[in-house]
Amino acid sequence: MIRELREVPEFEQVYALFEGIWHPGPRNVPMPVELMIGFAHTGNYVAGAFEGERLVGASVGFRGGGRSLHSHVTGAAVPGRGIGYALKTHQREWCRRNGLDTITWTFDPLVRRNARFNLLKLGALPEKYLPDFYGKMADAINEGDASDRVLAVWRIRESVTASPIPGLANLPVLLEAGDDGWPVVRKAEGDVVLVGTPPDIERLRREDAAAARTWRAAMREVLGGLMEAGGHVVTLTNHGKYVVTVRRLFHRGFAAL
């Protein structure tokens, strides 16, 4: 069951849930109890997913500019059980009832499973690359890495389906993993290009921090450069590569990549 939260003990449960997921430092708490209280009191989105009496997931968002909700943090105690999708579905219906048209959030473009969930399962699309968006993050997942993010935009009143792109396997690949797991950056031209992701960046951070940092720099250079110059991410391949339309970029001389 998913429901909105109103009481202080409920917000304390959310705080404990997020702490168990991210193990943050004292200056990097994902969502303080006091802020959740303020959000809920002023008509923003604070919801929890329950199995019986046990909180197993939660999501906190606030109204942004225009008719939009910014989903700041969403977490599930046990991944792979559909809790995140259920929360997003509840969030979408809440927004529709409250006259909102879009939901935005940020995610790490290196985390392949999050990209797949956001782009393929929900139909959200990255619209801006944000270098080191949160600054230094002291938690068990992000510590030691720059906090680059992309802004995902989910247009909840549109029926979004990924358009098939013919000849996908033959598209130029600007970034992908080499045999040793390190990123390989290539120069290529085309109206549509592919930008790959590492199979498991979180594991790579633990096992080879230098490779993980190199991936961050390569993703910022390639995907960040394309999006900054006006490229559009239109979908993700089954192998975790962003499909980016760049036709207008090459007309302006962006082929230096």
Please indicate, yes or no, whether residues 117 and 230 belong to a single structural domain of this protein.
no
**pTM of the entire predicted model:** 0.88
Residue 212 shares a structural domain with residue 142: no
Q: Is residue 163 part of a domain?
A: no
Q: At what angle do helices 8-22 and 33-41 cross, to 10 degrees?
A: 130
Range of the domain at 234: 168-256
- Tell me whether residue 161 is in a domain: no
Residue 110 lies in a domain: yes
Query: 102: closest CA among 152, 46, 41, 163?
Result: 152
Domain final position from 113, 134, 155: 155
Give bridge partners of residue 175 from the DSSP assignment: 185, 195
CA distance 75 to 73: 7
Q: Is residue 160 part of a domain?
A: no
Amino acid of residue 236: L
Is residue 44 domain-resident? yes
Report the number of distinct structural domains present in the chain. 2
In a domain, 6, yes or no: yes
Q: Give dist(CA 11, CA 74) in Å, integer.
A: 14
Q: Quote the CA–CA distance of 4 and 2 in Å, as a whole number.
A: 7
Domain stops at, among 106, 132, 155? 155
- Looking at the fold, whether 21 and 101 belong to one and the same domain comes out as yes
Q: How do the pLDDT tens digits run along the chain, 257 residues long?
A: 999 999 999 999 999 999 999 887 766 788 999 999 999 999 999 999 999 999 999 999 999 988 999 999 999 998 888 999 999 999 999 999 999 999 999 999 999 999 999 999 999 999 999 999 888 765 556 666 788 999 999 999 886 655 556 668 789 999 999 999 999 999 988 899 999 999 999 999 989 999 999 999 999 999 999 999 999 999 999 899 999 998 654 433 333 33
